[in-house]
Copies of this chain bind each other. A is one copy, B any other.
Amino acid sequence: MITTTTLSSHKKEVTIGFGHPFVMIGERINPTGRKILAEEMKAGDYSRVEAEALAQVEAGAQMLDINAGIPLADEPAILAESIRRVQAVVDVPLCIDSSIIEALEAGLAVYQGRPLVNSTTGEVEVLERVLPLVKKYGAAVVAISNDETGISQDPEERFKVAKKIVEHAADYGIKAQDVVVDPLVMPIGAISQAGNQVFELVRRLRTELKVNTTCGASNVSFGLPQRNGINNAFLPMAIAAGMTSAIVNPLHPELVQAIRAADVLTGVDDGCGRWISNYKDKSKEGNDAREGRRRRRRA
């Protein structure tokens, strides 16, 4: 059986799945660490939220993550309004992102289509609040592979947590194919085996648990210089291991290109059609211009 998680907006369907192109979920509508965006959202100004939605879809994001986690603000209301605004300007499915159950519910109530709920962990208390909501709205859910004991450095433990979440979801009538597991990407600068842990976990999640996977990819390079260089290599490696989606910044063209190249190389870009249509006319201004600059620097 081929695992597929189908999400939709009011206008469009997107499938995360084995044999499908990798799904980039744009991360930029998130006020965490972005003071101006946070203040604007709190004050009811969604112009930047809308602009970020348009720019990310233009850059190639097939879905967008919407987070409204602002301290001392009415997160349920702001998340719901952000979703309404974003659905008015773009047609990609959304990922409703909050750690507050009331915010998830408010977002689900206004969402048009079938969203991805981000997220539940393996903590029983969280599972028992999030899963009924996911079931009620017929959504799919991101499952983060940590539980009450924290984040294990042992991939076997993280696999067990993922398995537990999938089993709990089944108890609530949610299919395994609607659970998208986040194996948890740790900073490689602190944990030298962080990459190998993820690659092994993704492979097992795909072959044994037969679930789709996602991650917050940029965490892997935390604390290192030239983080983009690490991120641009990490995703093709994770895709080679079987990862099927990730929450990324699509405004980095090299990252988007690396992901599209990985799609070509895993054989899911039929006839290289997407690659060719995205890059055939850009060869001159892209690679060649960079080559020129490099040659001049060397000379």
CB within 8 Å of B: which of A228-246?
Answer: 228-230, 232-234, 236-237, 239-241
B residues near A162, Cβ cutoff 8 Å:
none
A241-256 interface bits toward B, Cβ cutoff 8 Å, 1 = contact, 0 = none: 1000000000101100
Asked if A272 is an interface residue, CB under 8 A from chain B, the answer is yes
Quick one: given A241-B240, A283-B225, are A265 and B232 in contact (CB under 8 Å)?
no
Q: Choose among A230, A234, A257, A261 the residue with the greatest number of B CB atoms under 10 Å from its CB.
A: A261
A192 touches B267 (CB 8 A): yes
Assess the A272–B195 pair: CB atoms within 8 A. no
**Chain A contact residue count (CB 8 A cutoff):** 49
Question: Which of B226, B229, B237, B267 lies in contact with A193, CB distance below 8 A?
Answer: B267
The residues of B that contact A55 with a CB separation of less than 8 Å are 298
Does A108 touch B at the CB level, under 8 Å? Answer: no
> Residues 285-296 of chain A: 1 if any B CB is under 8 Å from the residue's CB, otherwise 0?
011000000100
In the complex, chain A residues 260-299 whose Cβ is within 8 Å of any chain B Cβ: 260-262, 264-267, 270-272, 275-276, 279-280, 282-283, 286-287, 294, 298
Q: Are B272 and A188 within 8 A (Cβ)?
A: yes
Contact between chains at B264 and A230 (CB < 8 Å): yes
Min Cβ gap A184→B in Å is 15
Give bound CA distance, A275 to B257, whole Å.
22
Which one, B188, B240, B262, B265, contacts A264 given CB within 8 A? B188
Q: Which residue of B lies closest to A227 (CB)?
A: B287
Across-interface contacts of A192 in B (CB, < 8 A): 267, 270-272
- Given A188-B272, A253-B294, A254-B254, also A265-B233 (CB < 8 A): yes
The verdict on A196 contacting chain B, using a C-beta distance below 8 Å, is yes
Q: Would you list the 6 A-B pairs with minimal beta carbon distance, nearest first?
A: A195-B265, A233-B261, A237-B240, A233-B236, A226-B279, A192-B267
* Residue ranges of A at the interface with B (Cβ–Cβ < 8 Å): 55, 188-189, 192-193, 195-196, 199, 220, 224-230, 232-234, 236-237, 239-241, 251, 253-254, 257-258, 260-262, 264-267, 270-272, 275-276, 279-280, 282-283, 286-287, 294, 298
